[in-house]
A = this chain, B = another copy of it.
Amino acid sequence: MTPQRESLQQYLASRRKLVDETLDRELTAPATAPQSIHEAMRYAVLGGGKRIRPVMAMAAAEACGAAIEPLLKAFAALELIHTYSLVHDDLPALDNDDLRRGRKTTHVVFGEALGILTGDALLTEAFVWMAAPIAGIDAARQLRALRQVAVAVDSKGMIGGQVADIESERAQERSADGEMLMRQLEFIHENKTGKLLTAAAVFGGILAGASDQKLAALHRYGHATGLAFQIVDDLLDVEGSSAALGKTAGKDVAQGKLTYPSLIGVERAREEAARLLQVAVDNADMIAGPLNYLADIARYICERRS
């Protein structure tokens, strides 16, 4: 008898719980010397969050027929990478944010030096976790999975997207060339958030031993889901701010924020998000496993309401 299929909400809640338990168990105990950095690492990581990247990796692995229990530490490593990027983005020299998810940011609590070193430590720990022996997993497969995550977050990936974002915000003069702006915006979104999401889906697939055909489908799924996620984010910003704050898309552009609605209009941005969601769903459906929540997750991510 196959187990009854959980609802998406049950699935997400149970998988997040597994991620949270793994993070809490595997992060170094705060009493380990030097205590300050281990306290800071736990503070940064254990402050809540949707754990979307590990959950996406799990969903991909399960869709490809893998048992996720031996893979939990590797999946949780993706959350360490995501958290490191947030800790460094929040620093005074970058976005200078004092609050995240309603809590003080890491450098505000522990000081700027430890903020920098905590990000470094989380990134390093992610590789320790991804390289830790996994029962029943071939080393060549594991090395390949780790490598594509590293490539996704390097200077041509996530970090490159962050650099482009900073430089786009700071540019005092901007070309009026709409096509160039669109390429710039796509570069930022594809790299800053898209590549790690895509790598998460592919990571789960590789560790599950999926065929190259399925891995290609997971890549297209992750890419489309990541971009759709960003467009929906932009739309929520515009709609939320238009209603609540009276800000207009034109003002956003004047303030130096590149968004899809400001570049191509709300209507076309909605159409583009819908098109990308369909690409994600079509590719999710190519993974024919019995436990496939990938399409549901893409819909969930793209159909958020503010």
Number of interface residues of A (CB under 8 A): 51
Contacts of A91 in B (CB 8 A): 116
**A52 vs chain B, min Cβ distance (A):** 20
Interface of A is mostly: helix
Contacts of A162 in B (CB 8 A): 117
Contacts of A14 in B (CB 8 A): none
With A150-B128, A151-B128 given, is the CB distance from A117 to B163 under 8 Å? yes
CB-defined A-B contacts under 8 Å, sample of 24: A28-B155, A32-B156, A33-B164, A34-B164, A41-B155, A84-B120, A93-B111, A93-B115, A93-B116, A114-B163, A120-B123, A121-B155, A121-B159, A124-B155, A125-B154, A125-B155, A127-B150, A128-B147, A128-B151, A132-B147, A139-B140, A139-B142, A140-B140, A143-B143
With A121-B155, A155-B41 given, is the CB distance from A113 to B131 under 8 Å? no
In the complex the two chains form, what is the Cα distance from A117 to B165 in whole Å? 12
Contact partner of A156 (CB less than 8 A), chosen from B28, B127, B159, is: B28
With A114-B163, A124-B123, A143-B143 given, is the CB distance from A33 to B93 under 8 Å? no
